[in-house]
Amino acid sequence: MDSLNRFDVAEHAGVLMVVVESELLPPDPAVVVIPLLRDYPAVLHLNPTIEHEGEPFVLATRLIAAVRRGRIRRVGNVAPQDDAITRAVNVLMSGV
């Protein structure tokens, strides 16, 4: 299995996504990700704008999913924006 760490940006079929699953979990063929989309309706704190390679993307938090590791490839990392991403996941789970 390819090594993907939390806050890595991965790509599949032209869709970018952020890995939100901890690398401390046991190995699994799937990994939990949230898509990064250009045009997605943003809700404050739930859908922060994340910059990747100088381009703004909306974190489509409600589209959180698991994808097979073998279908995606790492294309970057957005760890400096970890607070906004973690807050978005917390808002999704708690509603606040």
- Half-sphere exposure in the Cβ direction for 35 (13 Å, CA): 12
Over 90: is that where the pLDDT of 96 sits?
no
Dump pLDDT digits (tens) for 62-76: 999 999 999 999 999
Per-residue confidence (pLDDT) for residue 2, from 0 to 100: 63
Per-residue confidence (pLDDT) for residue 3, from 0 to 100: 86
Per-residue confidence (pLDDT) for residue 70, from 0 to 100: 94
**C-alpha to C-alpha distance for 6 and 17, rounded to whole angstroms:** 11
pTM of the model: 0.94
Fold observed for domain 8-94:
SH3 type barrels. (2.30.30)
